[in-house]
Amino acid sequence: MDPIRIAIVGMGKIARDQHVPAIRGNSAFSLAATVSPHDAGLDGVPHLASLDALLHDGPAVDAIALCTPPQVRYDLAVQALGRGIHMFLEKPPGATLAEVGTLQAQADKVGVSLFAAWHSRFAAGVAPARAWLAERKIDSVSIVWREDVRVWHPGQAWIWQPGGLGVFDPGINALSIATHILPRPFFLKDATLILPDNRAAPIAADLHFRDTGGAPIHMDLDWRQTGPQSWDIAVETDAGTLKLSQGGAVLHLPGSTDHGEDVEYPGLYSRFAALIRGGRSDVDTDPLRLVADAFLRGRRETTDAFHD
């Protein structure tokens, strides 16, 4: 079977650090091209300045990994889907829920695969955590996602703009895990969003959810963390405490700890290949829906201006 010819559109840090090695490590794919107006591309791989140039003058591709900021993703995705190209959407899958729903409808219409790729769901500890929790009674959940924005998102102005999500850009990773591992759906009760007075997106947030069985879920997001970083989910159950740390890579169960390997992006591309070969899509908007609810219902508070 011939490899799937894939192009990466948007050559930022995540594309270079994660997408390129994951594609090159998966024999189901061949990296056919890269696209970016601001990047020189990779040695030995055709590089184009725009998606228009790729579609009109570049090498033929079967699939695209769309790694641009979410605010500009919709028009690019529509253009590629119209050409019958399979689409991998980096998280978050779009700037709005309606955009993603429209893309899903178009993908279904033209018969190509659309993949809303939540990379944190493929962290090593997530699948066994989901299995362990499936038969447990959930008493409460604590999510603490605190990191230093200057380390992880230096100079990324788009992330502070409307649609960029601010601290929910990493926070949505935690929600993608929580919506996947918890056995019951949950919904927002109240939220406080902390916005720097020179930015349009929050630098911190405090959120209270409740699942359909009544269990409380508290989420603490902050981009002002220095020193050790925190990406932790703790679930109190009738059989003891489950904890996922390091963004889902390490699973702590009563009496055991499992340190997994970094398999997130290799797992994503294995899933994408299977979707394409099977003629299916995977578009889960639950994490984005919860973030949208936070912006819909959350109370805003202002803090000091933020400067990179």
How deeply is 138 buried, as exposed, middle or buried, from its count of CB atoms within 10 A (0-12, 13-18, 19+)? buried
Q: What is the pLDDT of residues 146-202, one digit of tens each?
A: 999 999 999 899 999 998 999 999 999 999 999 999 999 999 999 999 999 999 999
Q: pLDDT band at residue 46, thresholds of 50, 70 and 90?
A: very high
Euclidean distance between CA atoms 55 and 64, whole angstroms: 11
Euclidean distance between CA atoms 196 and 60, whole angstroms: 45
The model's pTM: 0.95
Query: Residues spanned by CATH 3.30.360.10 within the chain?
Result: 120-260+292-303
Q: pLDDT band at residue 1, thresholds of 50, 70 and 90?
A: confident
Which member of 91, 109, 137, 189 is catalytic? 91
pLDDT at 240 over 80: yes
Name the percent of the chain lying above pLDDT 90. 93
Q: pLDDT band at residue 259, thresholds of 50, 70 and 90?
A: confident
Q: What is the pLDDT of residues 83-100, one digit of tens each?
A: 999 999 999 999 999 999
pLDDT at 32 over 90: yes
pLDDT at 38 over 90: no
Q: pLDDT band at residue 273, thresholds of 50, 70 and 90?
A: very high
* Fold entry, domain 4-119+265-281: Rossmann fold (3.40.50)
Strands (E) in the chain, as ranges, are 4-9, 29-35, 47-48, 63-66, 86-89, 114-116, 138-146, 186-196, 204-211, 216-222, 230-237, 240-245, 250-253, 256-259, 299-303
Q: Average pLDDT in the 238-248 region?
A: 97
Residue 258 pLDDT: 83
**Is 137 an annotated catalytic residue?**
no
pLDDT at 116 over 90: yes
Q: pLDDT band at residue 303, thresholds of 50, 70 and 90?
A: very high
Residue 248 pLDDT: 96
Euclidean distance between CA atoms 51 and 79, whole angstroms: 9
Answer yes or no: are the C-beta atoms of 165 and 159 closer than 8 Å.
yes
Q: Average pLDDT in the 29-54 region?
A: 95
Mean pLDDT rounded to a whole number for the chain: 96
In CATH, what number does 120-260+292-303 get? 3.30.360.10
Residue 169 pLDDT: 96
Residue 260 pLDDT: 76
Q: Average pLDDT in the 15-25 region?
A: 96
Query: Residues spanned by CATH 3.40.50.720 within the chain?
Result: 4-119+265-281
Residue 261 pLDDT: 78
